[in-house]
Structure formats: C-alpha cells, structure tokens
Amino acid sequence: MKYASVTDVVRRIKDDIHGDYRLQSIAMEGNIIGLKRASNGHYYMNIRDDQCSIRAIVFRSRVTAAVRAVREGDHVVVIGAVNVYEKGGALSFIIEQLFSQGTGSLQAQYERIKNELAAQGYFDSSHKKELPRFPWRIGVLTSKTGAVLHDIYKIAGERNPYAEIILHPIPVQGDGVDTAIAKAIGEMGRRKDLDVLIVGRGGGSMEDLWCFNSPAVIKAIYHASVPVITAIGHETDTTLADYAADVRAATPTHAAEMAFFDVSEAEMDLAALADRAYERVMACIEDRQRWVEQAAGRLNLQRYDAFLAMREARLAGLMEQADRQLRLHLEQKQGKLNTLTASLQALNPAASCAAATASSCSMTRSLQISTACRKRPR
C-alpha cells in the first residue's frame, strides 16, 4: 500500500482551494486581532468572528491608506483569496482590499468598560502613588516561564543585586485568568513588606491581553497599598490595567529599570552628597571659629575695662578714706591747739589784770546799786 506524504496532502488541499473560484475572490468580514506591521512593509493580522479565526496578510504592494489607518479590534470587510502555506500547512487569507466598518466588538467593549471605570474614578491621577526612591523588596506577578521574568531578573542583577524579588506566578492567558490575576494582585498589594509591585506579561493580540481589561483586575490594582507598575504587551499595547496602574512601563525591561535603582549611581550620588556635606560642615566650623575669635577679643577688652573700673573704684575709696583721716587728724590737732591756747591765755599777766579789773568794776557797780537803794524814800 502506498501512503500519501504530508506534502502530497497539503498540495492537494492547496490545489482544491485554488480550484474553487468561491475561495479565490471572496468578501469576508470580521474583527482584526493581533495586527502587526513587519519591517518589510507587510501587514499581518487575524480576522475573526465569535467562533473562528484565520490568519491574514496584506502584502506591501497592496497597502493603502485604509490599511495603515486600521487599528486593533476594528471591524472590517476584506476582499481576497484563501491560500495554503505549504511549508507550514497553514491556511491564510491574502487581502487585496480592506474596508473599515468601524470599531469592532472587542474594541467597543474595551471602550465601554474604560468609560464606566473612568466615571467611577479608577483612573484618576490624584489616586496615583509615587514610586519609592530606593525600593529593596519588589513583588513580581507574571508567568514563571515567560521572557518577562527573565528580563526582570537580568536588569535586577545589573542594577541592584542586593534587592529582593518576591515572585508570585500567575496565568496570563486563558479562561478565568482575570479572576486569578485579580486575586494575586489583591494578596500582593496588601503586603506591608513590599516596596513596589510589577505586573507583567509579554506581547500578544488584543484577545490575548483581554484579561488585563477585566474590571476585577483594575479594581485590585486601584485598591493596592503598594505602588503598581504594569508592563503588559508591547509598547503599542495599552490595557485598562495600564490606566489604573500608578506607573505604566513600555516593556518589562523598562519596568525593572524603574523598580530597581542603580546601586553604582546611588553610590556616586552618596559620595557627592558626602562631599557637599563635608564642605558645608567645614565652612560652618570656620565661620564659628571666626565668631569665637571675635568674641574672645571682645571678651578680653571687656575684662580689661572691668579691671580699670575696679582699680578706679578702689583708688576713689582710698582717696576718700585718706581725706577723712586727714580731716580727723586736723580736727584733733585743732582741738589740742585750742586747749593749749586757752592754757596760755590763762597764764598771761595782762589777762590776769584785766580779769581783776573786771572783777573790781563789777563789785563797785554792785555797791553803787546797793547805796542807791538805801537812800530811796520809803
């Protein structure tokens, strides 16, 4: 029995598809998911509805203004042909023309949830918490097998190997993961020993990242007491979790750079700060020294003035004392002189005669008065 090869089967499928005119010029509608522009100018995306999805491509030669204007989640009508990529055996849709039909269902749902949560204040900038300048314990919520964790560990090792990483693995894709993510954020966000919390996920389509648009996740981020950094998808991807976060990082590497301060830079900053502090202290010491010297000079002058004042007071006291003693001495000498003068006067003959004459006169006067009294008639 001869078996068909994989190549034979794929080529038969391709031939059948190419032979069906209904699949070679067909108009199809759906929502754009996973839109990417390659460096060669081609546009890659998935066109999907509620049940199925097909890979689609717009080659560079077919790129129009409508293609360049299309956005993730947009509802479009595309005209083209179904193709089979032989090497991978995958179906694809080669887009010849693209017409935008407005916002797709996912994008419309995204805008609706965003408006509702914004009206409730979950995105208010006044609620944002500042990142600490020197965080030492960083919580990380991401897949334990993805590139996000590898990037974070790499940057942490380069910038601050002394910091501690607290990993809480979470599922990042699949049904019901939004509940698990919200629970993990709630648990880590309440920890008092964490300085910063990083919520990260690698790139993906809008559908892949949809769990980070869940109101439960947004509310968990809002109520976290620890500052939250989100690094979800590529730089062009913006989830509602990014609006709720305290800081949004473009990539996991950027998130790690914000969370882990550079120890070498901090050491240089501290050295410069120490130099400035030393200069200020020395300047203050020199200023105080000059003040002390000036004060000492003023103090010595004051002591000299006080010494002179004390000596002047003592001199004045001595002079006053000498004056009193001199007056007392003179008074004593004057009294003694008066006594001697009186004694000399008492011994003077002239003075004795004068005294006798005075006594005689007094007696004569008394006799005259007595005689006169006797002669007066009765």
Q: Which amino acid appears at position 40 of this protein?
A: N
Question: Given pLDDT bands bounded at 50, 70 and 90, which one contains residue 294?
Answer: confident
Count of CB atoms within 10 A of residue 228's CB?
27
* Phi, psi (rounded to 5 degrees) for 138: -115, 125
* Phi, psi (rounded to 5 degrees) for 360: -65, -40
Question: Given pLDDT bands bounded at 50, 70 and 90, which one contains residue 376?
Answer: low
Q: What is the DSSP string of 119-136?
A: HTTTT-GGGPPPPPSS--
pLDDT tens for each residue of 232-285: 988 878 899 999 999 999 999 999 999 998 888 777 877 788 888 888 888 888
Q: 3-class SS at 139?
A: strand
Identify the pLDDT of residue 303: 67
Identify the pLDDT of residue 348: 62
pLDDT tens for each residue of 55-83: 999 999 999 888 888 888 888 999 999 99
**302 Ramachandran zone, left/alpha/beta (phi>0; psi -120 to 50):** alpha
Average pLDDT taken over every residue of the chain: 85
Distance from C-alpha of 76 to C-alpha of 246, rounded to nearest angstrom: 35
Residue 249: alpha-carbon gap to chain centroid = 19
Query: Please, which residues have CB within 8 angstroms of residue 362's CB and are 6 or more apart in sequence?
Result: none
Residues in the chain: 378
Question: Which of the two residues, 112 and 377, has the higher pLDDT score?
Answer: 112
- Give the mean pLDDT of 286-309: 74
Question: What is the helix (H) or strand (E) element at residue 375, kind and residue range?
Answer: helix 349-375
Identify the pLDDT of residue 365: 67
- Among 53, 79, 351, smallest CA distance to 207 is for 53
Distance from C-alpha of 152 to C-alpha of 259, rounded to nearest angstrom: 9
Question: In the predicted model, is pLDDT for residue 374 greater than 60?
Answer: no
Pairing between β-strand 164-169 and β-strand 90-103 as defined by DSSP bridges:
unpaired
Torsion sign over Cα 158, 163, 164, 168? negative
Q: Which range has the worst mean pLDDT, 109-123, 204-218, 309-323, 361-375? A: 361-375
Question: In the predicted model, is pLDDT for residue 302 greater than 80?
Answer: no
Q: What is the pTM of this model?
A: 0.55
CA atoms within 13 A on the CB side of 116: 12
* Phi, psi (rounded to 5 degrees) for 234: -90, 175
Q: Which amino acid appears at position 39 of this protein?
A: S
Count of CB atoms within 10 A of residue 273's CB?
10
Pairing between β-strand 164-169 and β-strand 137-142 as defined by DSSP bridges:
parallel
Q: 3-class SS at 39?
A: coil
Structural domains in the chain, CATH included, are 6-105 (2.40.50.140), 126-261 (3.40.50.261)
pLDDT tens for each residue of 327-350: 887 788 777 777 877 777 777 666
CA separation (Å) from 362 to 281, 349, 352, 372? Answer: 109, 20, 15, 16
Question: In the predicted model, is pLDDT for residue 175 greater than 60?
Answer: yes
Distance from C-alpha of 60 to C-alpha of 38, rounded to nearest angstrom: 10
Asked if 237 and 252 touch (Cβ cutoff 8 Å), the reply is no
Query: Please, which residues have CB within 8 angstroms of residue 244's CB and are 6 or more apart in sequence?
Result: 117, 122, 123, 217, 218, 221, 222, 228
Q: Which range has the worst mean pLDDT, 21-25, 120-124, 128-132, 216-220? A: 21-25
